[in-house]
Chains A and B, each alone.
Chain A
């Protein structure tokens, strides 16, 4: 016999993600999901971000297959850092974020940064309950990443081009990068930063604050 069903395969994940989003909204905090290849500088961007937001209550959930290296780095700048080890999992899911958020003092938090597992494919497929996805790409990567990994860039709320201080050495072709990106997403804002020189960080913090106002106002 045949049984017609028509239900979302990821409905368990999506239900928890929706619940996370509600909890975040109830606590008036903005949740950002940072996604990029390994080594693009997610942790470095967060270190500089937490320094600049010192005095504003922040929390970080950081996903990696193994080790607590990133949590140790971030823990120097923020007391609410939780490392999520996914074992062999290539992405964070909504239940892991829910479990992580449960051990955070959500009351009074302004920001929740979720540093996803370094991977430009799988994390895009799983809603965590975040308000926005930020895609990072560094100038040591190919300019054609936006068309090679289009789903991430199509869904991104903001793109951060990191390690711009290295662009002269790597020969990163900015024009090509922007042209590739605009074929996937014409509207997404791009912020060029360097964690080492501090270039562009003011613009990044300004974007975050404007985005948070939008999230809290909605």
Chain B
């Protein structure tokens, strides 16, 4: 259940950004999450609810946008989307990949209401 550690990291960043921007309440949080991250959206959602409880972000919707994986084969240079759990290059049949996308875990946007 490492989703809890991730939810706490999101909570800390969201609250700090909210404070810097004088947000009284956070209503929406958007993440970009690579498809190769070992994160279960339902588990992260549950952990987020627990981590945000009693804070200015309590009840904020957590939107997760999935980013497709992409990598370059170290053997033949072909760029492809690995079909997790298999990483074989469709051109040379080797699993020797430098990942270019699919492992990101980014806080992209937060929305909320400002102090009057």
User: Which A positions have Cβ atoms within 8 angstroms of B?
Assistant: 1-13, 89-91, 93, 121-122, 124-126, 147-148, 150-151, 154, 182-187
A4 to B75, CA, bound (A): 38
Contact A12 B110 (CB under 8 A): no
Contact A4 B38 (CB under 8 A): no
A-B contact count (CB 8 A): 100
| 27 residue pairs A–B, Cβ–Cβ below 8 Å | A1-B112, A1-B113, A2-B28, A3-B111, A4-B108, A4-B109, A5-B17, A5-B108, A9-B9, A9-B10, A9-B107, A10-B105, A89-B5, A121-B2, A125-B38, A125-B39, A150-B86, A151-B36, A182-B95, A184-B85, A184-B86, A186-B75, A186-B94, A186-B95, A187-B74, A187-B95, A187-B96
Chain B neighbourhood of A13, CB < 8 A: 9
Number of B residues whose C-beta is below 8 Å from A?
39
Q: A112 to nearest B CB, angstroms? A: 22
Among A1, A2, A5, A91, find the residue whose CB has the most chain B CB atoms closer than 10 A: A5
Closest residue of chain B to A154 (Cβ to Cβ) is B87
User: Which B positions have Cβ atoms within 8 angstroms of A?
Assistant: 1-2, 5-6, 9-10, 12-13, 17, 21, 23, 28, 31, 36-39, 74-75, 84-88, 94-97, 104-114
Contact A121 B96 (CB under 8 A): no
Contact B106 A8 (CB under 8 A): yes
